[in-house]
Structure 1
Amino acid sequence: MMVFDVKRPLIPDIAMAAGVSTATVDRVLNRRPGVRKVTLHRVLEAAVKVGYLGEEEVKVRLGPAFSKVVFLLPQGTNPYLTGLNTYVRALAEQSVEPLKVRSHFIESFNPEALVQALRRYGKTSDVVIFMAIEHPKVRQVIDELVNAGKRVVTIISDLPTSNRHAYIGIDNFAAGRTAAKVMGRFCRAPQGKLALVAASRAYRAHMEREMGFLALIEESFPHLTVIGPHEGHDNRDENYNNTRQLLDQHSDLVGIYNVGGSSDGIGRALRESGRADNICFIGHGLTPDTRKMLIEGNMDMVITQNPTAIYTRAIEVASGEKIDSGAVSMEIYFSENLPIVSP
């Protein structure tokens, strides 16, 4: 019996024929973003030439794809979300064929505004990526978008009872428990009060952080009493006023956990009171203001999720064949381990 040794073409063969790197070939074959249109066609032509793909397979890869992506983020004074939107827009300007990325701010904590934005931008987009609000109307519009063939992805705050395709963000329940563990260890007083500062319970992420915090404090540090939550709506002035009242009313306050953003208002109240050294302050979102507070000692710890990780994972879900949720690593920073700021 005769045996024919027929070598099957591989990715390096395509790369050589197209004059590009194997990484570029991999991006084209897996329909990932970041490849220019002329390069895309050159790679696919090379894949046909070496026998890796057939003509019909090339047509599939050049056919309709999830190419128009929109990010919707809450507008307000939350520095982390403002920074994330700026970051997304900067990367959106660099997006190349076949991916087009846009971002828009919408009114914070307003389910009606979110629903209107989802319907408006969902009509002209293939993928909608947004921070979900816990509300029946939001679930309804998600179902509408999914039924219309759109890809729906939640980031930072999830809505798992909807038909969204994926959630990208940290485990918020674990984040709350982590904050409680550190705060309980830091607060060496035999007894005292811990204040919970929330943005709004419209976001499941904030509710999960609260639940995780309360659960672990009750389990491990029963000598500490939790008061609140005091809603500040991610507004630095509201957070400042709420904290001033807390400091005036509770001389035995030993800790503050801000589950939302705009921690600078809390830090300012602590600094003015002269009690920052005696109160453990933990919050979310590494931003220029929280970095400054960590360095100056007005804040003890920040829990954050890297914007690059969120954007990259969201784009992978938006443009990839495979759709699945992905937890983003929870990053924890103190004054001593802050990352280097890029120039």
Structure 2
Amino acid sequence: MDETGLTSLLPHLPVSWFADLAPAAAFIRDADGRYLWANHAYAHLYGTTRARVIGRYVHDIDAPADAEQVLALDQEVLERGKPVRHTLTYHRADGTSGHAAGHRFPVREGTRMCVAGIYIDISDYTRALQQRREAEESLCALRDHSGLPCAQISAGGRILQASAAAAELLGTRLSDLVGRRADTLLAPAPELLALRRGWHALIGRRSRRIQTSAVLVDARGRQRRARLHLTTVGRSAERATSVWALVTHQSLAHEVYPPLTAAQVRILALLAAGRSNAEIAASLHLSRQTVDYHLSRLRDLLDAPTRCALVARAYVLGILAPQTWPPRSATAGHPHSAT
């Protein structure tokens, strides 16, 4: 039907036809709480039909406690003579409860003042809000009591929220951490470029989650290597709204050392594998004296007095990967390495 046809039809349709079929629940009651009229949507709230509502009283429809509240609101409207907006809880015949929001207002039916109401059922909305609150409470409990350093980072790169463990890891107060740009907590490292590419892939929805490594800088300027697990948040089709970052496999916090050469990193890996100085020299095609010099230099750089201490320091500082054998550099280009 075109607009002209619909316009010509409207004057011939009774107003009650629209009210009866309106999706909003509506009713009219007299001062004694007797239903003079109700539409289908109102009856549906209670899981019944209009015929079983019209002509009956509030106490016939609602539980005693609910009926008293309903009648009290009716009296308030009649006494004030003005509309009242509120949200109420109602109970269905099967024992389940629902929530509705709307207005109640005075109307005149012949010589009597009555109460009319129009409501929208917000049960699903209320339930969704409750589920969201419970999910947020569960997330906060997990964040605060898991002991894991983690943070939610906005698509623009700012920390939205973080765990107390994250603040402790970075040697700062939680209030100072929230709102800070996340990239200010990262030290220059060879894998930083790959981390940025991965970040853009996450925000652009090309990846759902990534794992990578980075070097974190705490409030004292000390560095530590850590494994990062990044997961997107939000269901937008084009961009992720934020990213959760979880820190695992932390190395020992340490002062910044002079960069290690590629040869020094390879020597540390062979040393951790149990190779002797002669075997290291042969493997790397170096002289025995050169290997001795590098080991002496490494003990000074890493503050390790013995070979065993040197290997241990290489692991706790994150120079060597803790979960691989044979030993190797923690990254293709360690921040202490020239490669």
TM-score, normalised with respect to structure 1: 0.22
Larger radius of gyration: 2
Larger RCO of the pair (alpha carbons < 8 Å, separation 6+): 1
Give the number of the structure whose residues are more often helix, by fraction.
1
